[in-house]
Amino acid sequence: MLDEAPFSHIRENRRQGCDPAFYRELLASVSGSYRFNGYPINRLMEIFARAETDLMVTSSPTLAVPSNPAFEYIGPIFELYDVIITRDRPMTSRLADFNQVRMGQPTGVCWMLCQDLAKLAIVKRPFYSVDQGVRLLMANRVDAIVAPETMFRLVLAGLPAQAPAPVISYHGPSQYLFLAIHRQLPAEQRQQIRASFDKMGPDGYRHLCDQAIKQLSWR
């Protein structure tokens, strides 16, 4: 199973992470019924492009509001960092330090960090989930992996204690997340969603992510 966007993942046939909690809280006061579907990020972006969803979280490399006219946007609601994770390399600000390494990268999606890595002479090794990528890393089948920082924290919190634990060795450029609401929804429902998000506050998404990570750590 591929990772769900942006911060939940599949473990033991169950979706874990902050996305379900975020949508439940966001829509708690909204009238009407909703069906939730989880998709791999590459599949999700196809659905988004065809405007086949009413509500989703999408990303942008800048603070500028995305331009799909079929949706209205709230946000940014979260700042996402892609990171490079290794077993023991120190933190570095030089991407060139990863030249020639065996680099695990997610299949079907690539943020700006992956595009920058394509300019280096790395040995690219695909993986289908961050959970799988971390396992490959700890089994020494790759030297490093690329993943969203919060996704990595979720996976790491759910794993048994390891010595040494994988570490973040490089912070990539920011991605900004926006809540996209399809304009085909009635105006009253769109307003209810906006009001609900305003009630959660700008830190609501991060709070739910941190809460999910803590719950995994306590298990």
Planar angle of CA 207, 80, 17, nearest 5 degrees: 50
Given a contact cutoff of 8 angstroms between Cβ atoms, the answer to whether 194 and 69 are in contact is: no
64 and 91 inside one domain: no
Would you tell me how many other CB atoms lie within 10 Å of the CB of residue 157? Answer: 16
- pLDDT surpasses 80 at 72: yes
Q: Between these two residues, 94 and 106, which has the higher pLDDT value?
A: 94
pLDDT at position 38: 66
Q: Which domain holds residue 186?
A: 8-79+174-218
- Mean pLDDT throughout 93-113? 86
Q: Give the domain-ending residue among 173, 193, 209.
A: 173
- pLDDT surpasses 50 at 2: no
Maximum average pLDDT range among 22-26, 42-46, 85-89: 85-89
24 and 67 inside one domain: yes
89 confidence band (pLDDT: 50, 70, 90): very high
What is the percentage of the chain residues whose pLDDT exceeds 70?
85
pLDDT at position 173: 84
In a domain, 206, yes or no: yes
- Mean pLDDT throughout 198-213? 82
DSSP annotation of 62 reads S
Q: Give the domain-ending residue among 158, 173, 188.
A: 173
In a domain, 39, yes or no: yes
Residues in contact with 70: Cβ distance below 8 Å, sequence separation at least 6, in sequence order: 51, 182, 183, 184
The tokens describing 161, both together, are 């204690």
pLDDT at position 29: 74
In a domain, 70, yes or no: yes
CA gap 58, 62 in Å, rounded: 12
- pLDDT surpasses 80 at 81: yes
DSSP annotation of 211 reads H
- Mean pLDDT throughout 208-218? 79
CA gap 94, 137 in Å, rounded: 21
pLDDT at position 32: 66
66 and 95 inside one domain: no
CA gap 158, 29 in Å, rounded: 31
Across all residues in the chain, what is the average pLDDT? 83
The tokens describing 89, both together, are 């390399």
pLDDT tens digits along 37-48: 766 666 776 777
Per the structure, the count of domains in the chain is: 2
Give the range among 2-6, 20-24, 141-145, 206-210 with minimum mean pLDDT: 2-6
- pLDDT surpasses 90 at 146: yes
